[in-house]
Chain A
Amino acid sequence: MGLKPTNQWLKAYTQLEATSNAEAFRKQQNKICEPLMGFFQNAEADIIQDYLIQNGLFVPVKNDPPYIQAWLKKRFLTITEKLYQKFRQKWNGPDIPIFVLPSNERSLELSKWYGGNAGLCYPDKLFLFINSNATAKQVAAVFVHEYSHACRLKHFPKEEQEYQLLDAIILEGIAEYAVRKLLGNAYGNQRLEIIPPETFCSYWEDLISPHLSITRNDAIHDHIMYGGRGIPKNLGYLIGYNLIKQFIKRNTYPISKLLYLPNATFLDVINDIRGHE
């Protein structure tokens, strides 16, 4: 497994002409999303396309082949392959297919807060959406974030549809901690910051604690993780990151061990934070 030949899919995409954006969408579906259908259960190419676009894949337009060709020259697959070999060994990580594709460079949200790169990780596959101007360290940041998920998910004792809000909060907290620990504070989700204990406790008691065991199919799950409509942006990520930072203050663990600690181990720190309000 490992790197899948997305460079060849992208070349095939650039070789077909599109006279409208609608044609460019169909071209992306045929050349990039149809080959992915075997990696999803019961999902058609258009459903996969919509979902990947919502998670940061480039939005196809009729005149984008020159941009894709320039992206291909940057050798992002080679950079990712090296990262994969390194972290698979370092973290005893899983052997999964990895798909590296261009990101959406027209999203101000993505460029302002996430360094222009995005990703999506499942227990059995990983996507990276990379900006054409990304540096090797920026590629490493998004790879570390996503591959840390793959490592932790490999050991989850439940099916994906049973994953709960607490699982997501800790997954994202570990991922963002790992990115900053390995690459520095300028990397990772720039909305995340260290918040005072009283703010942490107030969010925890009011918004997180009552919903810890809801599953990801419940609308509240994504509302808390992503925020919006009265909830701070990326609240679930913010809480997860602060929880892991507080945990690391009190316990010394390398990332390779942190990745595999059970959820309950992290929750022990909550009472301690309450005591320091």
Chain B
Amino acid sequence: MSRHHYDLCCRNIGRPAKIVTHDGQVHRGIIRRVSPSRVFLEPIGGRRNLGGYGIGFFGYGAGLGIGIALGAIATIAFSPFFFW
């Protein structure tokens, strides 16, 4: 699966993507760089907050510096639009 995600990210450098990881984090941003183990996004702002009150757990996406482990990715979606 990591290899699949690696190829997918390499083919889509420069495109906006939404990446959901198995631990429940939702990352949104433009793919800027891919290493054999991680993908680095430039975050896109404007996260839609649907409000409500939880227990303190919230899956924030990581920023550009940290990168996302390819093995932790559940799914990647691409969009031509910056609708987030």
Residues of A within 8 A of B (CB): 21-22, 24-25, 40, 43, 47-48, 50-51, 53-57, 59-61, 104, 106-110, 113-114, 117-122, 127, 142, 145-146, 149, 153, 160-161, 168, 171-172, 175, 189, 191, 216-217, 222, 225-226, 228, 234, 237
**In the complex the two chains form, what is the Cα distance from A228 to B74 in whole Å?**
24
On whether the beta carbons of B49 and A217 are closer than 8 Å, the reply is: yes
**In the complex the two chains form, what is the Cα distance from A47 to B49 in whole Å?**
9
From 20 to 58 in chain B, residues with beta carbon under 8 angstroms from any chain A beta carbon are 20-26, 48-58
On whether the beta carbons of B56 and A237 are closer than 8 Å, the reply is: yes
On whether the beta carbons of B23 and A55 are closer than 8 Å, the reply is: no
On whether the beta carbons of A114 and B24 are closer than 8 Å, the reply is: no
**In the complex the two chains form, what is the Cα distance from A48 to B48 in whole Å?**
9
Pick the contact of A22: B50, B55, B77 (CB < 8 A).
Answer: B77
> Assuming A22-B75, A25-B75, A104-B24, is B58 touching A54 (CB within 8 A)?
yes
B59 interfacial by beta-carbon distance below 8 Å: yes
> Assuming A21-B74, A59-B74, is B56 touching A191 (CB within 8 A)?
yes
Q: Which residues of B contact A109 (CB under 8 A)?
A: 23, 57
> Assuming A40-B50, A107-B23, is B57 touching A118 (CB within 8 A)?
yes
Q: How far is the CB of B84 from chain A (nearest CB, A)?
A: 9
Closest to A43 in B: B50
On whether the beta carbons of B24 and A56 are closer than 8 Å, the reply is: yes
Pick the contact of B55: A25, A53, A104, A118 (CB < 8 A).
Answer: A118
**In the complex the two chains form, what is the Cα distance from A117 to B48 in whole Å?**
23
> Assuming A171-B53, A228-B60, A234-B56, is B23 touching A21 (CB within 8 A)?
no
**In the complex the two chains form, what is the Cα distance from A247 to B25 in whole Å?**
36
> Assuming A59-B22, A107-B24, A118-B54, is B49 touching A53 (CB within 8 A)?
no
List 19 A-B residue pairs with CB atoms under 8 Å apart, sorted by A's residue number: A47-B50, A48-B50, A50-B20, A50-B48, A51-B48, A59-B21, A59-B74, A60-B74, A107-B24, A108-B23, A110-B23, A118-B55, A120-B53, A121-B52, A122-B53, A175-B53, A225-B56, A226-B58, A237-B56
**In the complex the two chains form, what is the Cα distance from A113 to B54 in whole Å?**
14
Q: How far is the CB of A110 from chain B (nearest CB, A)?
A: 5
